[in-house]
A = this chain, B = another copy of it.
Amino acid sequence: MITRMSELFLRTLRDDPADAEVPSHKLLIRAGYVRPVAPGLYTWLPLGLRVLRKVEKIVREEMVAISGQEILFPALLPKAPYETTNRWTEYGDGVFRLKDRRMNDYMLGPTHEEFFTLTVKGEYSSYKDFPLVLFQIQTKYRDEARPRAGILRGREFVMKDSYSFDVDDDGLKTAYHAHREAYQKMFKRMAIRYVIVSAVSGAMGGSASEEFLAESEVGEDTFVRCLQSGYAANVEAVITAVPESLPLEGLPDATVYDTPDTATIAALVEWANSADLGREVAAADTLKNVLLKTRVPGGEWELLAIGVPGDREVDDKRLGAALEPAEYTLLDDADFARHPFLKKGYIGPKSLLANGVRYLVDPRVVDGTTWITGADETGKHVVGLVAGRDFVADGTIEAAEVRDGDLSPDGAGPLVSARGIEIGHIFQLGRKYTDAFSADVLGEDGKPVRLTMGSYGVGVSRLVAVIAEQQHDELGLRWPSSVAPFDVHVVIANKDAQARTGAEELTRDLDRLGLDVLLDDRTASPGVKFKDAELLGVPWIVVVGRGWADGVVELRNRFTGDRREISVDGAASAVHAACREV
């Protein structure tokens, strides 16, 4: 196919749009790939749509390669199935809701677990019909509180969502790993730099889950990884490296001290270092007990105490993930008043355990570790309290913040944090949705089997921005061949009629070789054309310029910046070879 810039619906912009924050957003607008319609709503112009379709095609091919079967649901979805799973309520403000003329409730679907489950239940009835993987590439909606960064986080976007259905856990694991590999292949084909991180599943329910995060400074997700071992995880999913237990024998007895005005860790550490304890004390030597109340859905509020080393904060995201599906809140003054044994600023394990408060500690609080902590009386702390000897907690909890330099759980080296953009997510949902809809089939033994389910997503339209974000340079976009809007961009940079004719001929030859060619046949100056070519980011640029008279054209590699002259004779096949080598 030949596309002429003189006819292409395209206007590039010299300046960055005022409201664009991140490079991909700026460049996709400047280069005429997308245009804003409203916050978080974008129009795909011809070049952008070409890239989107190529991304879609790669995603589709890799899904078909793992025997995924494509179907297509409406975006406008009735309320009832979401009520069955309680997601009609749980989604809160995050989705678009509307009523039809008969005042029936609808949602613009943010994801389709309910409907896939119902559909499979409706069609299939025997174990023989499984395994089954269904997918769709479909337009989804979320009423983001703060749509941002262009198509990186829009309110209407294209996703591939797929769902696996199996009669047993092994089947689910197989489907999960097939998706994992399919995702690795598709992202590799798009030349995306990414990490796979352990994730908690959040509102989706279920257990094993990983996220594919594209590495990017503008990403909204923080993850940590160990460069030595390759371990990577979402902050919520990091497992603390647990030190070895220490022998309890021979440790000195715990002693209670008067420690007036030491309700904060800083004040306590200052006191400890001014007292004559025989060693330097740091915040990490203190045990901070944080009081919460938690409630499982439909249940009663219960007290929960969390003990963490005094140098660490409790991380809201990690705490939320650890307690899910329970909700939680800090205790207020009224709560403290109701429980007088809780001496604010001086709470210790002893009184918590004596009063039956559930007490979970950071995994670092192993047996034999010695702590300075509250003595359950205002103005008093205990020094030398030994875990496993003086108190035994009810369990551990992954709630303390993760810090750069923390040891990787595999012990291979320190963790470092980085930012990423979620591009894929794979879940072993299990039976959450099939339980909700009683999705059973007849098993091999003639008895009903409850189906087990996986849910897998790829942010198709977001990938366009992610690739732009990772690949651009200061001159503009740079598309990998697999997703580029064109294979080659021929720039006529010579007003000579013969050169022009030659460029047209070369373009036709490239088209005949099966390449998608963008021909800059405009009357603009060579400078304007070169700038546009760099901005648009087609991976190979052929300049028909001054060299034409000497029988050469220039072939530029948009990625490396390499330029080389090639002979006009055989130019088409040389360009073809270059395009196909990447």
**Once the chains bind, are B123 and A11 in contact (CB under 8 Å)?**
yes
- Chain B residues lying within 8 Å of A141, measured Cβ to Cβ, are 76
The answer, yes or no, to whether A341 is at the interface (CB within 8 Å) is: no
User: Knowing A44-B72, A71-B49 touch, does A37 contact B115 (C-beta < 8 A)?
Assistant: yes
Which residues of the partner chain B approach A43 to less than 8 Å between Cβ atoms? 71-74, 115, 119
- 7 further A-B pairs in the complex, CB-CB below 8 A; given A35-B122, A41-B74, A41-B77: A9-B134, A37-B73, A38-B106, A43-B73, A46-B69, A98-B98, A139-B139
Convert A374-410 into 0s and 1s, putting 1 for each residue whose CB lies closer than 8 angstroms to a CB of B: 0000000000000000000000000000000000000
B139 touches A69 (CB 8 A): no
Q: Could you tell me the distance between the alpha carbons of A61 and B484 in the complex, rounded to whole angstroms?
A: 21
Q: How far is the CA of A143 from the CA of B32 in the complex (A)?
A: 34
Q: Are A49 and B70 in contact (CB under 8 A)?
A: yes
Pick the contact of A7 from B46, B67, B143 — CB < 8 Å?
A: B67
Q: With both chains docked as a complex, state the minimum distance between the C-beta of A194 and any C-beta of chain B, in angstroms.
A: 26
Q: 13 A-B pairs, CB-CB below 8 angstroms?
A: A9-B134, A11-B124, A35-B122, A38-B74, A41-B77, A43-B73, A43-B119, A44-B71, A44-B72, A45-B71, A75-B156, A93-B101, A101-B145
How many angstroms from the CA of A32 to the CA of B104 in the assembled complex? 27
With contact pairs A43-B115, A71-B44 given, residues A76 and B108 touching in the complex (Cβ less than 8 Å): yes
CB distance from A354 to the nearest CB of B (A): 47
B97 touches A98 (CB 8 A): yes
Chain A at the B interface: SS class: mixed
Chain B residues with CB below 8 A from A42, complex form? 74
Least CB distance from A485 to B in Å reads: 12
A100 interfacial contact with B, CB 8 Å:
yes
For window 75-110 of A, CB contacts with B under 8 Å fall at: 75-78, 93, 96-98, 100-101, 104, 106, 108
Query: Does A160 lie at the interface of the complex (its beta carbon under 8 Å from any beta carbon of B)?
Result: no
Q: Are A9 and B132 in contact (CB under 8 A)?
A: yes
Say how far A278's CB is from chain B's closest CB, in angstroms. 59
A288 within 8 A of B: no
- A8 in the interface, Cβ–Cβ < 8 Å? yes
Find out whether the CB atom of B37 lies under 8 angstroms from the CB atom of A74: yes
Cβ < 8 Å to B, chain A residues 99-156: 100-101, 104, 106, 108, 115, 119, 122-124, 132, 134, 139, 141, 143, 145, 155-156
A73: chain B residues at CB < 8 Å are 37, 43
**CA–CA, A93 and B101, complex, Å:** 6
Q: Which of A1-21 contact B (CB under 8 A)?
A: 7-11
Q: Most chain-B CB neighbours within 10 Å: which of A9, A67, A98, A122?
A: A9
Contact with B along A44-76 (1 / 0, CB 8 A): 111001001000000000000001011111111
